[in-house]
Amino acid sequence: AMGRKRKAQRVMDEQERSLHGSFCAAASSISQLYTQALQQQKKAYSLGAQHALERVLAWALRDESSGSDGAVPVGALIDVIRQDLAELQGLEASE
């Protein structure tokens, strides 16, 4: 009877260790997934900011080449930015 109890205890200990190992592996995977998601979010934000600045710069360069004195009117810049924001908000609303 004592041998059976020890064997049963050994089996339970092995199962517990196995379950603990599986839990640790799953927790590690979730942690890695979270870290990757944060990295992707930062990258996407950076690329979006870069794209926005490139669009503003392209607009300013087009405006400058159209014969103005090199000064970009603030009101025109505000209008362009508002227009782009409205387009982006429209895209977000349709998703």
- DSSP secondary structure of 18-45: HHHHHHHHHHHHHHHHHHHHHHHHHHHH
Per the confidence metrics, is the pTM higher than 0.75?
Answer: no
Indicate the pLDDT class of residue 16, thresholds 50, 70 and 90.
very high
Tokens of 50: 């870069």
pLDDT band, very low/low/confident/very high, at 39 (cuts 50, 70, 90)? very high
By the 8 A CB rule, do 43 and 75 touch? no
